[in-house]
A and B are shown apart, each in its own frame.
Chain A
Amino acid sequence: MSRRAELDGPVTDALVATRRFFTRGEVSPDLRVLQKKGGRQADDFYRGRWAHDKVVRSTHGVNCTGSCSWKVYVKDGIITWEAQETDYPSVGPDRPEYEPRGCPRGAAFSWYTYSPTRVRYPYVRGVLLEMYREARARTGDPVAAWAEIVSDPERARRYKAARGRGGLVRATWDEAVEMIAAAHVHTIKEFGPDRIAGFSPIPAMSMVSHASGARFVSLLGGAMLSFYDWYADLPVASPQVFGDQTDVPESGDWWDAGYLVMWGSNLPVTRTPDAHWMTEARYRGQKVVAVSPDYADNVKFADEWLAPRPGTDGALAMAMGHVVLKEFFVDRRVPSFTGYVKRYSDLPFLVRVEDGRPGKFLTAADLPGAEAEAENAAFKTVVLDAATRRPVVPNGSLGFRFGDSGVGRWNLDLGDVDPLLTLADDAEDAVEIELPRFDADGVLRRGVPVRKVGGHVVTTVYDLMLAQYGVRRDGLPGTWPSGYDDASQPYTPAWQEALTGVPARAAARIGREFAANAEETGGRSMIIMGAGVNHWFHADTVYRAFLALTTLTGCQGVNGGGWAHYVGQEKCRPVTGWTQLASALDWSRPARLMIQTAYWYLHTDQFRYDPFGAGAFAGATARGTLAGRTTADLIALSARLGWMPSYPTFDRNPLDLADEAEASGREVADHVVTELKAGRLRFACQDPDAPENFPRVLSVWRANPLGSSAKGDEYFLKHLLGTGSSLRAAEAPPHARPKDVVWRDEAPVGKLDLLLTLDFRMTSTTIYSDIVLPAATWYEKHDLSTTDMHPFIHAFNPAIAPPWQTRTDWDAFQSIAAAFSRLAETHLGVRKDVVAAPLLHDTPDELATPHGRVRDWAAGECEPIPGVTMPKLVVVERDYPALAARMGTLGPLAERLGGATKGVTFDFGRAVEYLKRKNGTIDGRPSLVRDVHACEAILALSGTTNGSLAVQGFRTLEKRTGIPLADLAAGREDEQITFTDTQAGPVPVITSPEWSGMETGGRRYSPFTVNVERLKPWHTLTGRQHFFLDHDWMAELGEQLPTFRPPLDMHALFGEPRLGEHGDLGVAVRYLTPHSKWSIHSEYQDNLLMLSLSRGGPTIWISDADAARIDVADNDWIEAVNRNGVVVARAVVSHRIPEGTVFMHHAQDRLIDVPLSETRTGGRRGGVHNSLTRLLIKPSHLIGGYAQLSFAFNYLGPTGNQRDEVTVIRRRSQQVTY
């Protein structure tokens, strides 16, 4: 029942009928104060102001985890204001509720509707439009006209150089859409569909809007760019440790925690509607600790504040881990902890010790006898049984996940086996091993107990962990800390103090309290972690040090415990249905899904500015396999081995490639392999600066990369767009240039032919776009919203029809598709397309690389075998003239092949029949013409919203695991959530195998509860949570185990000034770009309400000490400069900022009160926060084809980290010009 129907608080009870008292009489009962009765004529102004005609449920669509349901008020057909809905289903009598959800930014949204920044009509850059009209009139053919312009270097240069310089003029929808279609058709014909890309992030908060363009791009064979990794929000530690993209507790589960650490996550600012769960849980006796380098908004709520120096969080976490291991595992063995790690982690698994270093997991293939011959033996890891001291191959490892012999055995049931955690008690020997360290030169030499198994010297992961953390045990060789106060040895509390500034006693005490609480409460200790720690280059190591704490103490998979990663993780709960629509899997498979970080690293030529090799990231015990290669070389390697996707894939049009194969009479795969081996065909990423390998068309909707996510913004402006930039960096010297990747002397500028943006407001991206289409806002369309912060799904609804010439994304892309298909009739027809697909996670592809041993066919180390040592090669038919029709109907592959999420395949037979009746049919297929149809399709094709699919998926999983699961959804098997349901109010989702936790019986969602309670394996090599990673490259990087890696040294890598150095352009400081209180990414930072509540334009926060050093007063104009570019902003001086660090809250567009920089720094428009950052790729993020280290879209890929940067900052002339 909705809240409005049951207003029954004491006040409301009393006041519902107060007007009965409002008479005209006046009384003035004492002399002091005039008292009169209400209901007066004079009050009519306010009554009139409050009056409204209707209230419509909607929400805000992208890039915010809130998924808050809102009431949009409408009066006289005009949207007036909004307020939060309060009708979330109750979470029970003993907890707070989810009402109200919302924040000031959402509350300011309606300002956009009629604001002067609203995009009301289609716009095209005048220079381009004139050329197009002229060529179109002359040739009579849109495609020929487009081809002529972009092929003519002079004309192309002219319109590209005009990007971002104003001069947009109005066009009609028909004309704009025709140009867009012509650009697509020409690109496909000339260069291939994989030269087209689409970017729109994070579908969860408006799935249909996201799917609109994604479906169009996927149908034509373009590449959809990833976002989670690109944003650096993907915690790579999650795939590494859990084999899961990210799965986190809903905010209501914070309530269950007994101990809560907020670590690099500023809840009041970044999880505004959820923060109350934390403030309220304190009253329940929860202890709260804030770890933050500044006195952030959340620190106010903490019992204690730890302020490590920026980027040193990993050191603090390692020291806490040291304390936990020493006090709760070695000095005293806590049964619940050891029981947990034996069953749910890789700690008892055996690892071979080779050459005095940790080597590979011992697998069944290494054992004597029949085990070695078993199916997938190289993927079955081994423990020692405590009772028999014999090696045992327990169920649940990857080897049981695929293949016939694993049916019914992929589970964590240990039976009678009691895995031995340590070999210390009956070691045959002890050997000293070398472990890399990164806080100083040299290596750590520490001993582990070993035995021989199957001729191999082995130890356990647990024993390696104690060595790594420096927890001394008697009888083991090596150099160990003498105690907590030994600052010379990693990873003691005293050691971390020197790095972090956090007192050793505090570090030890918080670590101890965290574990003690977990012991007492059965694992209800939680770490909320976010962008403050996750956006660093080595964030995966920081996170692994955190996850070590939560796993060691048995907190993962427990309500109120474990990790709670909150940045960009927004959960698209009906993921299977959304995937089906967005990737157009109902018509063609696979879709091209690209890792965006690598895409732009190459295509904006940032790779040309790396003056160091990939070996710079290697650990001290590396064997040198990365040395002498650049990051670009590794990207090329990763692409050709099929680890990571790479689009454009080949230096040839993939449509032509299919034709060539057909002409040659060979199978496509044969043909491609032959051509590759002969050197006649090459991967495009090996020569990204060759014109045939440029990305040509980019469509952006629901996004503003150039104002928000584009790390290396100035590189984008220069190389991708070909317009003015403030880039100051020098290219790599000859000795540091790539070996495999071609270096062209002249770096191209203006690679992209068409930048198309659909938006409702002007952004840094629209001003640089060639064509801007006017989009409907979130209050003007139908859509669906979910998040991981709460377990509900709810609706967007139009409060008004799209005004002016705006259209919904769903409508706009159908318009584009219609124009495209018309032109395709004559220019494209039906073609065959060769799609190169990477080795995928949650499929048997994970078995491609036994033991994570890297073999490169191009180096002759193996044969190129598609799907094993190189990408899979799939031929997809592209019926271009039919594309528009396909957009608008659900295709036959839906029921023929079903849908798969995380390795569970769903049969859509019944759901498709239902959709035919629900949506109606076109040519016999369910209609997707209207956005509401798309909503219904998403709801029907996902287990979280269609109970029968959830049960069906669990039954499938039951066969593989041999454990009962279907009961988790059985109670809601008959339930099909409809769009109408979501319009009426937020609806709780259904427990489904698409996720790892359960809402069954109304409990709060916590990840991995299914794994812990039902013994379902994690999707990893061992089937357990991993402390140890044995891939070759992890060893090279020195990151087999949790470790501490300091922030990148930008002085050593790029020659930037050392921190604190004072030069001509200012003082060098660490440059951090946290999320803002006044915006959701770039949205709202231009909103007048938010600007009035803050400083009215771009700012940089600086400490009082640093400000004094450069003579800056509050609100002075300052410039921040480094090799990547320039930022002009005003200073906010405050003592709550730590010395040596400045904050520029991210995504302050260059549109609001941004002056020109001073002449000596280029004299161009001051930049956005990303004008000072750039992309840096960590080699380990390129690993693929091996167990949990296998690609899936937004699951694994290099992150667009941006926290390690430094800048010099100075007071500039206060006479600014614009």
Chain B
Amino acid sequence: MRVMAQMAMVMNLDKCIGCHTCSVTCKQAWTNRAGVEYVWFNNVETRPGEGYPRRYEDQDRWRGGWTLNRRGRLTLKGGGRLRKLLTIFANPKLPGIGDYYEPWTYDYETLTDAPLQEHSPVARPHSLLSGREMKVSWSANWDDDLGGSPGLGDRDVVLGRVSEKVSLEFQKTFMFYLPRICEHCLNPSCAASCPSGAIYKRSEDGIVLVDQDRCRGWRMCVTGCPYKKVYFNHRTGKAEKCTFCFPRVEVGIPTVCSETCVGRLRYIGLVLYDADKVLEAAATPNDTDLYEAQRRVFLDPNDPSVAAAAERAGIPRDWVEAAQRSPVYALINRYEVALPLHPEYRTMPMVWYIPPLSPVVDAVRDTGHDAEDHGNLFAAVDALRIPIGYLAELFTAGDPAPVDRVLRRLAAMRSYMRDLNVGREPDEAIPSSVGMTGESMYDMYRLLALAKYEERY
């Protein structure tokens, strides 16, 4: 056992209001400068939707992440080192600026400076890259709230994989938001792709960084990252990425995106894991077993042998305590409601998500499901609008069972709490039906609902 500590994040998508405050505060703090105009270390995608950059999840095209070779060994999907060196000057698997978006600004000054003229002055868009006038036709978040949805069925990579029929029509509309930052993976394919050795994982907290001195701008990391969360600064010629706000985290302040998350849905915490098991877990044969495999890499910080091993590994006692109180660990391993994003990329991502509930589909509600069953007012999980298959393709490599389990836990929590809310006797059968006790369900409720500052971070 080689104990290592990892800073990790959980985002509760069931609380995300899609406001993009995280994106703006992050951008204002880190990337509102020349060379990275198009870069959003943190972005929020409406799902279903194409994402940013467009169709980044299409690894058949971008070849990001890891795969298993014929011998079952882990290998970069984009090819090995040799292959990378051969294509170093002409990497075809990079998203173009059009796949992100061509950043622009306006000639605002004309609003003040315009001479006397026939029509009122107007500020027109100009490319921040070429300086030329342009018609804006794609942005950092073009398909927000299902904008431009006709044809979406072909453009959302995940939607294309969902086996059940999903029809994009008014009556059956569904959507939710997916905020994304760098995953600070346990098995980062960006680092493995870097020919210069410039990307490293901080051994004390697992934050993945680009050494700005060593980066030579080969951009293999951009290809290697299946989440497309490494960006190329076209001014400096170096790669840049989310730093997990290490200058803040080091002095005890949460990341910008977390502290400013007005939906209060982000949790940051330390997780202890066994570094010796990462490779094995990442090489788990079946994609659908990767979620469980990654969970097994995490160590129980309350286990005395883990604490002892951590001490041997030089992890201080207060860090172990932090891991014991970690909301991230609780949501992933104790309550088992958080899931990894695209575990099939085999990077062992460390930003996890609680999948969202959604309104029931009227048609289903009115045929059979009694919404007032158990007097709890809540409908059955399988009548929800967001297809479980869609969530499964995002979080569990297509296996609906874990997603279904999480949604049932959330629904059960609401039922259980409703009795308490209206002053009835709590029904202990509800938590036990989802494998929990009343006490643990109540604790989970406090963490999810009250989510005090001190408990989120």
Binding site for B on A (CB under 8 A): 3, 7-16, 18-19, 21-22, 27, 29-30, 32-38, 40-43, 45-47, 49-51, 80-84, 86, 93-97, 99-104, 107-108, 110-111, 115-117, 119, 123, 126-127, 162, 164-168, 258-259, 267-269, 272-273, 275-276, 279-287, 290, 295, 297, 299-305, 503, 505-506, 509, 513, 517, 520-521, 724, 762, 766-768, 1077, 1086, 1088-1089, 1091-1097, 1101, 1103-1104, 1107, 1113-1115, 1132-1139, 1150-1156, 1164-1165, 1218
Contacts and interface: CB of A to CB of B under 8 A. Distances in A.
A116 B109 CA distance: 5
Contact of B2 (A29, A103, A167): A29
B456 A9 contact: yes
B260 A83 contact: yes
Contacts of B225: none
Contact of B120 (A284, A767, A1094): A767
A36 B202 CA distance: 5
Contacts of B56: none
B15 interface: yes
Given A33-B188, A97-B453, 20 more contacts: A10-B324, A11-B249, A14-B321, A15-B250, A19-B250, A22-B204, A34-B197, A38-B204, A42-B214, A82-B28, A115-B108, A117-B111, A268-B17, A283-B413, A287-B418, A513-B377, A762-B108, A762-B111, A1093-B141, A1135-B170
B452 interface: yes
Contact of B205 (A38, A83, A1135): A38
Contacts of B15: 276, 279-280
> Interface centre among A30, A123, A280, A1165, by most B CB within 10 Å?
A280
Contacts of B91: none
B130 interface: no
B59 interface: no
A32 B193 CA distance: 10
A762 B112 contact: yes
Closest 6 pairs (CB-CB, A-B)? A285-B418, A167-B116, A166-B114, A1096-B136, A268-B17, A14-B322
A51 B251 CA distance: 12
A1135 B450 contact: no
Interface stretch (B264-272, B292-300, B387-395): B264-272
A1134 B377 contact: no
A762 B111 CA distance: 7
A1095 B21 contact: no
B24 A1134 contact: no
A506 B28 contact: no
Contacts of A1114: 147-148, 150
B424 to A, nearest CB: 9
A107 B24 contact: yes
Interface stretch (B157-165, B304-312, B359-367, B398-406): B359-367
Interface stretch (B82-90, B99-107, B431-439): B99-107
Interface in B235-282: 243, 245-254, 256, 259-264, 268-270, 275, 278-279
A84 to B, nearest CB: 5
A1152 B106 contact: yes
B122 interface: yes
A376 B327 CA distance: 65
> Interface centre among A35, A258, A1091, A1115, by most B CB within 10 Å?
A35
A666 to B, nearest CB: 51
Nearest to B168: A1135
A34 B21 contact: no
Contacts of B324: 10
B288 interface: no
A1155 B119 CA distance: 10
Contact of A84 (B149, B252, B262): B262
B120 A47 contact: no
A12 B200 contact: no
A18 B30 CA distance: 22
Nearest to A1131: B148
B256 to A, nearest CB: 6
Interface in B145-200: 145-150, 168-170, 173-176, 186-188, 191-192, 197, 199-200
Given A42-B212, A1150-B120, A1164-B119, A13 B108 contact: no
Nearest to A283: B449
Contact of A47 (B114, B187, B247): B247
A361 B106 CA distance: 62
B29 A1101 contact: no
Interface of B: 2, 7, 14-15, 17-21, 23-25, 27-30, 32, 74, 101, 103-109, 111-125, 136-137, 139-142, 144-150, 168-170, 173-176, 186-188, 191-192, 197, 199-205, 207, 209, 211-214, 243, 245-254, 256, 259-264, 268-270, 275, 278-279, 316, 318-319, 321-327, 356, 358-360, 362, 365-366, 371-372, 376-379, 410, 413-423, 445, 448-457
B359 A290 contact: yes
A780 to B, nearest CB: 18
Contacts of B108: 115-117, 762, 1086
B370 to A, nearest CB: 10
Given A12-B254, A283-B448, A1093-B139, A100 B260 contact: yes
Given A7-B253, A258-B421, A1135-B150, A297 B145 contact: yes
A14 B318 contact: yes
B34 to A, nearest CB: 13
28 contacts: A10-B326, A11-B268, A11-B270, A13-B252, A13-B318, A15-B251, A29-B203, A32-B278, A33-B201, A35-B203, A38-B205, A43-B243, A94-B450, A100-B259, A104-B24, A164-B120, A272-B19, A280-B450, A283-B413, A285-B415, A286-B421, A287-B377, A1077-B145, A1092-B104, A1092-B141, A1103-B170, A1107-B150, A1136-B170
A29 B109 contact: no
Nearest to B361: A305
A35 B4 CA distance: 11
A138 B109 CA distance: 34
Nearest to A764: B120
A1092 B149 contact: no
Contact of B269 (A11, A43, A84, A100): A11
A286 B275 CA distance: 43
Contacts of B123: 117, 1086, 1151-1153
Nearest to B261: A100
Contacts of A108: 24, 28
B261 to A, nearest CB: 7
> Interface centre among B104, B253, B259, B453, by most A CB within 10 Å?
B453
B367 to A, nearest CB: 11
A1101 B115 contact: no
A767 B23 contact: no
Nearest to A49: B30
A1156 B119 contact: yes
A299 B173 CA distance: 10
Given A167-B115, A167-B116, A1165 B205 contact: no
B298 to A, nearest CB: 16
Contacts of B316: 14
B417 A285 contact: yes
A169 to B, nearest CB: 10
Contacts of A36: 200-203
> Interface centre among B113, B124, B170, B201, by most A CB within 10 Å?
B170
Given A32-B187, A1104-B149, A295 B173 contact: yes
B371 to A, nearest CB: 7
B25 A81 contact: yes
